């Protein structure tokens, strides 16, 4: 039995459009209604036949929904929830896809105090955005972390877990605050580092921007892919999860200082030990199916 019959997706960017496509592929009998605050995005969604229906207002989109998924930047979650408050069916479950959970829980509960809210975070994405960037297999084999607050009905949580299983995701439950600390390490800090490195390289007076681009080796090229991610989304992520990010950033700064000292004093054994340990972590990621071992990160060669 399908967990939901009528799903509404609010926000039709990469994640929202991938959810819509995934539902059509894996749960074709489920009716999907979409809405986006940007009229141009709604027009595109209609043109590419993304959903069964594209609503003109958020309220209209949720009138008959039994699951509503907020797929907007984390800083806009509260406003998106408020937009549907007057029309949300009492029995509907509300979820989201934000990569910060504590701030989202607070914002959505403030706007929808009586709604059943089951937060979720599909740990998947690309550097692209917009309704045409999505694809049905985005969540295949990727983790979706569901972060219910204490007291949430177990049946509601299980329905959301099953929804993500049907989209091909591996599912896990986690407390919102623990999620935010884990993601600060695995996602938020790496993005912050990528933005910093790419910005530093482009600002160096002795290396022109054309040379940075012309001579980009694999490492810098991979950082530019991460740094091409949606700026609105990541601005909101860092502001929403600032306590965890600042805590992890302080630890990273201390480790970076130790690495700087090892290089300065020629401590090759320390460098070798660190690099060996990080190679083992890479192997573990491959073994757990979160990446593959294709040569050169899967890049095609002529």
Domains of the chain: 6-175 (3.40.50.720), 178-289 (1.10.3660.10)
Q: What is the pLDDT of residue 286?
A: 61
Angle between helix 268-287 and 242-264 (nearest 10) = 140
Residue 168: predicted pLDDT: 97
Question: Which pLDDT does position 263 carry in this prediction?
Answer: 92
Ranges of beta strands (E only) in the chain are 6-10, 31-35, 53-54, 67-70, 93-96, 116-117, 120-122, 143-146, 170-173
Question: What pLDDT was estimated at residue 34?
Answer: 98
Whole-angstrom distance, CA of residue 282 vs CA of residue 261: 25
pLDDT tens-digit map of 147-164: 999 999 999 999 999 999
What pLDDT was estimated at residue 53? 97
The pLDDT value recorded for residue 225 is: 78
**pTM here?**
0.80
The 10s digit of each residue's pLDDT in 34-79 is 999 999 999 999 999 999 999 999 999 999 999 999 999 999 999 9
Show the low-confidence residues of the chain (pLDDT under 50): 296, 299, 301-302
Confirm if 112 and 88 have CB atoms less than 8 A apart.
yes
Largest CA distance in the chain: 67
User: Under a CB-based contact definition with an 8 Å cutoff, are residues 85 and 107 in contact?
Assistant: no
Residue 194 vs residues 54, 113, 223, 230: alpha-carbon distances, Å: 36, 38, 5, 13
């Amino acid at each position: 039995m399908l967990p939901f019959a009528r799903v509404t997706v609010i926000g039709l960017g990469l994640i929202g459009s991938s959810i819509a496509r995934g539902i059509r592929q894996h749960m074709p009998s489920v009716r999907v209604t979409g809405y986006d605050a940007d009229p141009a995005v709604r027009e595109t969604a209609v043109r590419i036949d993304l959903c069964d229906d594209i609503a003109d207002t958020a309220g209209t989109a949720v009138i008959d929904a039994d699951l509503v998924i907020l797929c907007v930047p984390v800083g806009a979650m509260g406003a998106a929830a408020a937009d549907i408050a007057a029309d949300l069916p009492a029995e509907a479950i509300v979820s989201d896809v934000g990569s910060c959970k504590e701030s989202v829980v607070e914002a959505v509960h403030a706007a929808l105090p009586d709604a059943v809210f089951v937060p979720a975070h599909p740990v998947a994405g690309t550097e692209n955005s917009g309704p045409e960037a999505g694809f049905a297999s985005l969540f295949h084999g990727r983790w979706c972390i569901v972060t219910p607050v204490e007291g949430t009905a177990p049946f509601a949580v299980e329905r959301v877990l099953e929804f993500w299983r049907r989209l091909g995701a591996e599912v896990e439950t986690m407390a919102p605050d623990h999620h935010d600390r884990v993601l600060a390490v695995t996602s938020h800090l790496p993005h912050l580092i990528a933005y910093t490195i790419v910005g530093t390289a482009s600002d160096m007076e002795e290396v022109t921007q054309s040379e940075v681009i012309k001579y980009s080796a694999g490492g810098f090229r991979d950082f530019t892919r991460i740094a091409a991610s949606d700026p609105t989304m990541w601005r909101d992520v860092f502001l929403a999860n600032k306590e965890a990010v600042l805590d992890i950033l302080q630890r990273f700064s201390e480790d970076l200082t130790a690495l700087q000292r090892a290089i300065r004093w020629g401590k090759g054994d320390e460098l070798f030990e660190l690099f060996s340990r990080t190679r083992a972590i890479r192997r573990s990621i491959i073994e757990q199916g979160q990446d593959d071992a294709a040569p050169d990160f899967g890049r095609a060669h002529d």
